[in-house]
């Protein structure tokens, strides 16, 4: 495992922990898109079905279980435990416009036309756009809490680091996965504007705000 893969995984884990702690400590999921979290839960569920069929390493299995468990824990906190604080009026992105096209694309463009491979490909495509409901929600409310921006920053950093991971693997292992790379590039591009605002505002102690 190279340093970019490891730091990418740790950044991803940090994002998830930041979000869970934010919700639990404030007893509120205000400003968090439940739809994005549902999409991420779907991403991890369809990607890690191989937990039932193969074992790669203890690290690999542990991280997969943590990602799935945390994803559903987040969904539970938003839609059950702290449902009264969920801002459904602003979380209005039409997720079917993401899930249906991504599902169709996974059937058409994949490495192998088998159930597990199609579901894995679906998860890769879906992850690249799963953050859109959250970004849409921020654009509708016009601002985001600082802790929410930290979550988004580490989530975007995870994808950026994984791009370097793919470059590393190509040069040193001869491994090249066009599906994962293209999806990673798309996801990183979606974060570019946010990264700029994060560096120019949040890191300087200002609240991230957008034109509504």
In a domain, 41, yes or no: yes
State the pTM of this model.
0.91
**Cα separations (Å) of 143 from 48, 137, 190, 210?**
34, 9, 17, 6
Q: Residues 21-45, buried b or exposed e (16+ Cβ, 10 A)?
A: ebbeeeebbebbbbbbbbbbbbbbe
Q: Residue 205 falls within a domain, yes or no?
A: no
Range of the domain at 32: 3-200
Residue 206 lies in a domain: no
Q: In this structure, is residue 192 part of a structural domain?
A: yes
Total number of domains in the chain = 1
Helices first, then strands: H and E counts in the chain: 8, 2
Residue 209: beta bridge partners?
Answer: 143
Domain-located, residue 210? no
Sign for the CA dihedral angle at 210, 147, 134, 9 comes to positive
Least confident of 43-47, 73-77, 199-203, 207-211: 207-211
Closest among 107, 127, 101, 100 to 44, alpha carbons compared: 127
Q: What is the pLDDT of residue 176?
A: 85
Is residue 211 assigned to a domain? no
**Residue 83 placed within a domain:** yes
pLDDT-derived band at 211, boundaries 50, 70, 90 = low
- 49: in domain: yes
Quick: pLDDT tens for 126-150.
999 999 999 899 888 877 788 888 9
């Amino acid at each position: 495992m190279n340093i970019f893969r490891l730091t990418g995984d740790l950044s991803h884990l940090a994002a998830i922990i930041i979000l869970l702690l934010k919700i639990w400590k404030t007893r509120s999921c205000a400003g968090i898109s439940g739809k994005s979290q549902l999409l991420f839960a779907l991403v991890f569920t369809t990607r890690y079905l191989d937990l039932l069929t193969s074992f790669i390493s203890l690290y690999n299995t542990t991280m997969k279980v943590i990602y799935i468990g945390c994803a559903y824990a987040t969904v539970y906190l938003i839609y059950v435990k702290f449902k009264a604080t969920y801002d459904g009026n602003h979380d209005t992105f039409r997720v079917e416009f993401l899930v249906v096209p991504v599902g169709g694309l996974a059937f058409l463009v994949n490495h192998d036309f088998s159930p597990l491979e199609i579901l894995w490909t679906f998860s890769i495509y879906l992850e690249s756009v799963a953050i859109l409901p959250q970004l849409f929600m921020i654009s509708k409310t016009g601002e985001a809490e600082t802790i929410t921006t930290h979550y988004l920053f580490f989530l975007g950093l995870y994808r950026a680091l994984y791009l370097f991971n793919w470059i590393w693997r190509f040069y040193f292992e001869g491994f090249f996965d066009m599906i994962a790379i293209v999806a990673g590039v798309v996801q990183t591009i979606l974060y570019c504007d946010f990264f700029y605002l994060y560096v120019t505002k949040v890191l300087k102690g200002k609240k991230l705000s957008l034109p509504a």
